[in-house]
Chains A and B, each alone.
Chain A
Amino acid sequence: MTSSGQIKKDNTAPEPEHKALPEGYGTTEAALLPRDPNWMFIYWEITENSKKNICRSHGEDVFQKGRQVIRVYDVTGGEAAKYFDIPVMLEAKSWYVNVQESGRAYCCEVGLIMPDGSFIGLVKTNTVNLPGGRVSDVTDEKWMAVSGDFDRLLQLSGVEYIGKGSGEVAKSLAQRWEMLRAVFSRASSWGVSSMSSQALNKPELAKKFWLVADCELILYGATEPDAFVTVSGRKVNLNPDGTFSMRFALPDGLVDLPVKALSKDETDSREITIKVTRATTTDGK
């Protein structure tokens, strides 16, 4: 398996793993996974059969007429009270879903929005409970005695280190190791092996070859929770901890994003300007 590996003479059977992973499993299904308080990951598979069934009941051109979306339901407390839609291509097969409100329960449904506004669901995910990502508002009675000192307790507990755990240090150690390898061993076996990661690449479809790619922009930041923040002159609603994030379409050309924060008493301000250029080229085939 590695260049240092010596195959034993008495074992020359071909290794079964030299095949790519299955492209799909032939079932229409989807799953939703939690990433952090504001992000989830969804993947789906929709079989040709399922698509045919939808066409049969809603018309042959339903996939041309309908807009393809992920419908994100807030199902906190059991009922789908609120939802919003994210436009996608069904061929994307997976997506990262950003939600404004942490600490809630979500599930997603991939489907089509028809010109008359009706929604045709294709596949639904499991429910995910996202963490709140902040100190709980719930205090029990016993708590009251020391609640005034909670901020100090947070300091003592090292709240400022949150997210800077040893995972990060382990990562930098691992990177040092990697750097060492790169510097000193020009032919390390870690990278050179009989099977490269190309096995992961999407195998070509037997029929028509195709490619879709697009890109969006996510802007995020944090300031004092009571500050007044604008992005490109538009007011931004902050999360209770002062963080904010926004997702933009990213067309070709230059996007200019001035981010301004004004302190509550209006005596202090900060400004950060982010310029993003997108240039898309295709080979025209």
Chain B
Amino acid sequence: MANKEKGYLALVLHAHLPFIRHPEYEDFLEEDWFFEAMCETYIPLLDVYERLTAEGTDFRVTMSITPPLCNMMADDLLRQRFRRYYNLRLELAEKEVVRNRNTQFYDVAKMYETKFRRIRELYEDYYHGNILAGFKKFQDMGKLEIITCGATHGFLPLTVRKEAVHAQIKLAADDYRRHFGRGPRGIWLAECAYNPGDDVFLKAQGIRFFFLETHGIIYGSPRPRYGVYAPVYCPSGVAAFGRDMESAQQVWSAETGYPGDSRYREFYRDLGYDLEYDYVKPYLHHDGVRRNIGMKYCKITGKVQLNEKAPYNPAEAREMAASHAGNFMFNRERQIEHLNGFLGRKPVVVSMYDAELYGHWWYEGTDFLEFLFKKICHDQKSIKMVTPSEYLAIHPDNQVVQPSMSTWGDKGYNEVWLNGTNDWMYRHLHKQAERMVEMANKFPNADGLLKRALNQCAREVVLGMSSDWAFLMTVGTAKTYSTKRFIAHTHRFNGLYEQIMGNRLEENFLKDIEWRDNIFPEVDYRAFSTQEMEKAAGS
């Protein structure tokens, strides 16, 4: 019997890191964020998709791979440095298997050796250093829907000039085409930050849907008939899907969420601190300071001191991940059956998470997803997994609602990105956007050196707009680094602006900046022109 399902589940993973690449240093600490996420989340997810496909398990997942992340994945220097990173880890893992023979840590040591070998195998033999090709393969199969994001994860509600909002979307769509061979159908608005009306710029790029935090939909006007369990159309016709908080809390909750189980891997006991110094030193950064190296041998164990943590048992943890996946599916089945009866329509439950939660923060998270996909495919009938595009093809009829301004940040609005720690940024950001628009309007057909300089200005403006800098200042993590990055992009932009407007461009100055900030090799500064923005808004 067809159509037995009672509703739909759309799993959405938001994969993002700010653009961090420092060719001026041999070895740069913050680049590790990318390498860690590659080893713990992005490549393991591809591994899951590969296995599911090989064994014939059908699945659906939606992933944003933000433009900064795409650009880092495709960058030659970072590819080369990533190889160095995992080869060093593999070398250490191999030594560790020998050292831990006949100890209670043997299984976990063996786990890392297998893991890093598999990473090398996937990265080299499957994807030849280009993991975007891996993601594209599953998109072309129709199992994965890759969506884009603002060009640099720019926080749009605090952007005064609409030309800059348009440029964030336009540059992102152009970059997506370069990597995936077609335009994006969906977008993850950075921080789910939505400003009513900005959806017209999505429409102009052919983008059909985006995602909102629950209250973005619930506080929309008129009242959304189905709450967050059906998408709504903005007046522009772009669809907005709202987040389901029940499934979000099940995973995220600090007290009852799955990742806190005592059998899962303990994040805070790391070999970078546990191993004898001279032995671990070759695997640390050049400064020789002990830091996390991503290999951890203990389980959470319970509420005990870090030195009382018990050895990690990979098999036991994997069983737990399977059991949690079963629990998650059971709850979605009940939820969807209940909603179906209540709404009189098949609900779509949209479960949205940061991708890096799976594997990086919650080490077993990728196992959890694999079990979840398998169970949903083989063990039940009430849930059908869909991508938003598939859903809209099945249900093109939806209520028209103007969603409310909202974000997925603390307190639900813009405060995380606008408070005493970061509000000083905006007068500089706005000035840069204004100057960029001024130049794009003044030079509609630049070529040669001037064109290169204008394109570099566009890169600097969008890099400064990353919501990550304001976020890191608020949470106090890597505050110095994020402050420095923001100031650096501001200076580079202002320097170029003065040279361009003073008609005294210095090629060496430009060249140095091009070499440092090489995001968007094919950027076109005209995305900032008022004419292009108006054309898009009127489309």
A binds B: yes
* Chain A residues near B (Cβ < 8 Å): 1-8, 11, 13, 15-17, 19, 21-22, 25, 31, 33-37, 39, 41, 43, 45, 94, 126, 129-136, 138-140, 142-143, 146-147, 149-150, 152-154, 156-159, 161-178, 180, 184-185, 187-191, 193, 195-197, 199-200
Query: With A146-B225, A156-B342, A165-B412 in contact, is A1–B354 under 8 Å at CB?
Result: no
Which of B23-31, B97-105, B275-283, B383-391 contacts the other chain?
Answer: B23-31
B408 and A131 contact, CB distance less than 8 A: no
B214 and A158 contacting across the interface, CB-CB below 8 Å: yes
CB contacts (< 8 Å) of A187 on chain B: these are 289
Q: Contacting B24 at CB < 8 Å: which of A7, A149, A171?
A: A7
Q: Which residues of chain B (142-172) have a CB below 8 Å from chain A?
A: 157-158, 160
The answer on a CB contact under 8 Å between A6 and B428 is: no
Is A4 in contact with B286, judged by CB distance below 8 angstroms? yes
| Contact B158–A2 (Cβ < 8 Å) | no
> A19 touching B26 by the CB < 8 A rule?
no
Contact surface of B with A, Cβ cutoff 8 Å? 22, 24-30, 157-158, 160, 191-192, 196, 213-215, 217-223, 225-229, 242-246, 248-249, 252-254, 267-268, 273, 285-287, 289-292, 338-339, 342, 352-354, 361, 399, 404-416, 418-419, 423-424, 426-428, 430-431, 474-481, 483-484, 487-488, 490-492, 494-495, 512
For the complex, give the distance between the alpha carbons of A3 and B289 in Å: 10
Known: A43-B423, A167-B408. A138 touches B160 (CB 8 A): no
A-B contact pairs, 29 of them (CB 8 A): A1-B481, A4-B29, A5-B25, A8-B24, A22-B428, A35-B413, A35-B418, A41-B418, A41-B423, A135-B218, A136-B222, A138-B223, A139-B222, A143-B223, A153-B226, A153-B342, A154-B227, A156-B246, A157-B214, A159-B214, A159-B215, A163-B215, A168-B409, A170-B354, A175-B477, A180-B292, A193-B484, A197-B480, A197-B483
Q: How far is the CA of A214 from the CA of B326 in the complex (A)?
A: 57
Q: Is the CB of A162 within 8 A of B423?
A: no
A95 to chain B, nearest CB (A): 10
Are B290 and A158 in touch, CB under 8 angstroms? no
Known: A132-B404, A161-B245, A185-B290. 4 other contacts (CB 8 A): A6-B27, A13-B512, A43-B423, A140-B399
Select from chain B the residue with minimum beta-carbon distance to A44.
Answer: B427
A-B CB pair tally, cutoff 8 Å: 256
What are the residues of chain B within 8 A of A8 when measuring CB–CB?
24-26
Identify the closest chain A residue to B495 (Cβ): A16
Give the one of A13, A21, A157, A193 with max B CB within 10 A: A157
* Contacting pair A166 B354 (CB below 8 A): yes
> Which A residue's beta carbon lies closest to that of B14?
A166
CA distance A8 to B290 in the complex (A): 23
- Give Cα A196–Cα B25 distance, bound, in whole angstroms: 19
User: Chain B nearest CB: distance from A260 CB in Å?
Assistant: 26
Contacts of B487 in A (CB 8 A): 17, 21, 199-200
Q: Which residue of B lies closest to A25 (CB)?
A: B431
Q: How far is the CA of A142 from the CA of B399 in the complex (A)?
A: 9
Minimum CB–CB distance from A70 to chain B (whole Å) comes to: 15
Determine if A158 and B29 form an interchain contact, defined as CB atoms under 8 angstroms apart: no
Rank and list the top 7 A-B pairs by shortest CB-CB distance, nearest first.
A158-B245, A167-B409, A36-B413, A136-B221, A17-B488, A163-B412, A5-B25
> Nearest-CB distance from B484 to chain A (Å)?
5
A156/B491 in contact, CB under 8 A: no
Q: Are B218 and A200 in contact (CB under 8 A)?
A: no
Contact A139 B484, CB 8 Å, known A168-B410, A169-B252: no
CA distance A198 to B412 in the complex (A): 31
- CB nearest to B191 among chain A residues: A167
Question: Which of B158, B223, B287, B289 gathers the greatest number of chain A CB atoms within 10 Å?
Answer: B223
B25 near A6: Cβ-Cβ < 8 Å: yes
Contact of B245 among A2, A132, A157 (CB under 8 A): A157
Q: Are B418 and A135 interface neighbours, CB within 8 A? A: no
Question: Hey, which chain A residues are within 8 Å of B196, CB to CB?
Answer: 129
From the candidates A1, A3, A161, name the one contacting B22 in the complex (CB within 8 A).
Answer: A1
Q: Known contacts being A31-B430, A41-B418, is A143 close to B29, with CB within 8 Å?
A: no
